[in-house]
Amino acid sequence: MDVQTWTYLIVGFTFTLYIGIAIWSKAKSTKEFYVAGGNISPIANGMATAADWMSAASFISMAGLIAFSGYGGSVFLMGWTGGYVLLAFLVAPYLRKYGKFTVPEFIGERFYSKTARLVAVLCLIVVSVTYVIGQMKGVGVAFSRFLETDYNTGLFIGMGIVFFYAVLGGMKGITYTQIAQYVVLIFAYTVPAIFISLELTGNPIPQFGLLGNVSDGTPLLQKLDTVITELGFGQYTNSVMGSKLNMFAYTLSLMIGTAGLPHVIIRFFTVKKVSDARLSAGWALVFIAILYTTAPAVAAMARLKFTKTIQVDKVGEVSGNIEYEKRPEWFKNWEKTGLLKHEDKNGDGRIQYYNDADKSFASVASEYGWKGNEMTKVDKDIMVLANPEIAKLPGWVVALVVAGGLAAALSTAAGLLLAISSSISHDLLKGIFRPEISEKQELNASRIAMVGAILLAGYFGLNPPDFAAGTVAIAFGLAASSIFPVLMMGIFVKRMNREGAIAGMIAGLGVTLLYVFQHKGIMFIPGTSYMGGMEDNWFFGITPNAFGAVGAIVNFVVAFIVSKMAKDPPEEVQNLVEDIRLPQINEN
């Protein structure tokens, strides 16, 4: 069977599975719709959380990102896992003890303020919508590239599937589908990694393969360093991203952003008790770590493999570079998509791939007769997707990777859509505008909100706005600078009052947005970046993506100063704080 048939078969099978689960797990009450009834086992919830968390970006983009940034890419690995430690220690148990349905609901009640709840809903919607656009795009791209349908059809099919299980089943349907999706995606990620690790290092476990030796006896990482530095690239194992301070701030932003993302936090509302919430965070990290420790191995191996495909032999000798006509099949396939581009600058019919931005290497390169890097485009995203083809794996593995990428995108999209729809029906409608509606009406409203959220996400998937490009900066920046600090103060600072919390949130948010927009344009519209005379990343060399940590500090400082000037929170709010800090008694 060819790849195409395999892909239809495997993707078709997984989609049927998701629909089957949807029919079986219809939500009958708001509690089932918002928190899956609140009796999911910690391991099952851990698995669902892992699928919820690992998006198209984790599955498709992350390894490629690390492959081309080497050591600097560690910020993603540490940032997106270390955040779970914070979630487990500082957020999940307390919010589970609070025991209601949404994150804005907690913020509103803890700070006895509808304004605080409204600000929280706004942050949540902006974070989740930007995030969900990326997932929808991922679905469209995966379909168009591998199933030869067009992008829009792919997007509609994806929307249809999510529509089915998210609208019918709410959190309950989403949870069970996410479990299935986790199994699909982790299998799809590790199988090609095992093959490529075996081929390169003889070790079937990629995590150990990374520490192993290649066939000539030198360690893999050392070999990689040698191969790429000979071509003028920076060392793989030492290349810092920006500066140390930037890496520090970046990692911190991703960690506290993770612990402040509402669609992740609400997953911990689905377990039975506080101790289960803690345990569940542990299991979630176990399931996440399986992919996150495989990724750096895939990254290093793919980089080596890719470079060696072009630089087949000694650097500087004519025969060292592959002839363009002899390029492998996968190379041709990716050229068709435009994500890989070659331009024969010196007209020798061979491919030269090197770092022509490095001035000290330029003289060496011209001695070789090279006239610039001929790989004019190497899209980082192709690394994971091309891996099975590079390793010459059978068609079903390629198909599996497609199904895995779709599972990663759909599971994250569903989790985000639920966070959006519950904040609309529960926080805005029931909480603020129409408190008198019955549970049944609220359930209907939440389904309608879900439909609306899916249509909105679909619309943005079809017409990606300019700000979609800044997803990471904005989603993690907002979560880190607004939601995380306010949750921390709500739980750990009993005397923090409404005034302090709201001022802090607005200040943290404002500073972060100002910095991001200053660099990337207002709402990411090109040409509207301001204060252009200022040098790049002027604030201690911290990049906009890493700025959430600074925003969080501003939030804390402003909140403490303002809170000193206003009255202490009322008695019943202080009691609420006391209460969420205590363990559940007489757990069953």
Partner 1 sequence: MNDQKSEPEISEDSSSPLGSGMTRQEYWKKNITCVLSLLVVWFVVSYGCGILFVEQMNKISIGGAQFGFWMAQQGSIYVFVVLIFVYVRLMNRLDREFTGTCQNEEKVQTKGEEQS
Residues forming contacts to partner 1 in the complex (CB under 8 A) are: 30-31, 35, 38, 66, 71, 73-74, 77-78, 81-82, 84-85, 88-90, 93, 99-101, 207-208, 210-213, 218-222, 237-238, 244, 247-248, 251-252, 269, 272-275, 278-279, 281-282, 285-286, 289, 292-293, 296, 439, 572, 575-576, 578-579, 581-588
Nearest residue (CB) to partner 1, 8 versus 248 = 248
**Which helix (H) or strand (E) covers residue 153, if one does?**
helix 151-201
Nearest residue (CB) to partner 1, 531 versus 585 = 585
Nearest residue (CB) to partner 1, 167 versus 224 = 224
The least distance separating partner 1 from the CB of residue 401, rounded to whole angstroms, comes to: 22
The least distance separating partner 1 from the CB of residue 573, rounded to whole angstroms, comes to: 10
Nearest residue (CB) to partner 1, 314 versus 581 = 581
Nearest residue (CB) to partner 1, 126 versus 241 = 241
In terms of Cα–Cα distance, which of 583, 587, 585 is closest to 97? 583
The least distance separating partner 1 from the CB of residue 204, rounded to whole angstroms, comes to: 15
The least distance separating partner 1 from the CB of residue 569, rounded to whole angstroms, comes to: 14
**Given the structure tokens 């303020």, which residue do they identify?**
113
Nearest residue (CB) to partner 1, 90 versus 514 = 90
At 174, the amino acid letter reads: I
The least distance separating partner 1 from the CB of residue 576, rounded to whole angstroms, comes to: 6
Residues 259/88, Cβ–Cβ less than 8 Å:
no
The least distance separating partner 1 from the CB of residue 555, rounded to whole angstroms, comes to: 19
Distance CA 115, CA 77 (A): 36
Tokens representing 290 are 């399986």
Nearest residue (CB) to partner 1, 140 versus 209 = 209
Nearest residue (CB) to partner 1, 172 versus 278 = 278
Nearest residue (CB) to partner 1, 135 versus 422 = 422
Q: What string of H, E and C letters represents the secondary structure of 321-388?
A: ECEHHHCCHHHHHHHHHCCEEECCCCCCCECCCCCCCCHHHHHHHHHCCCCCCCEEEECCCHHHHHHH
What count of other Cβ atoms lies within 10 Å of the Cβ of residue 190? 18
The least distance separating partner 1 from the CB of residue 264, rounded to whole angstroms, comes to: 14
In terms of Cα–Cα distance, which of 498, 511, 411 is closest to 185? 411
Sign of CA dihedral 330, 332, 338, 341: positive
Question: Distance between the two ends of the chain, CA-based, in angstroms?
Answer: 53
In terms of Cα–Cα distance, which of 359, 413, 324 is closest to 133? 413
The least distance separating partner 1 from the CB of residue 125, rounded to whole angstroms, comes to: 21
Nearest residue (CB) to partner 1, 43 versus 362 = 43
**Given the structure tokens 């589908």, which residue do they identify?**
177
The least distance separating partner 1 from the CB of residue 153, rounded to whole angstroms, comes to: 38
In terms of Cα–Cα distance, which of 135, 71, 91 is closest to 456? 135
- Cα separations (Å) of 148 from 8, 144, 156, 389? 10, 5, 14, 17
CA angle centred on 83, ends 246 and 553, rounded to 5°: 55
Helices 151-201, 274-310: crossing angle, 10 deg rounding: 80
- Hey, is 493 helix, strand or coil? coil
The least distance separating partner 1 from the CB of residue 95, rounded to whole angstroms, comes to: 12
Residues 22/180, Cβ–Cβ less than 8 Å:
no
At 343, the amino acid letter reads: E
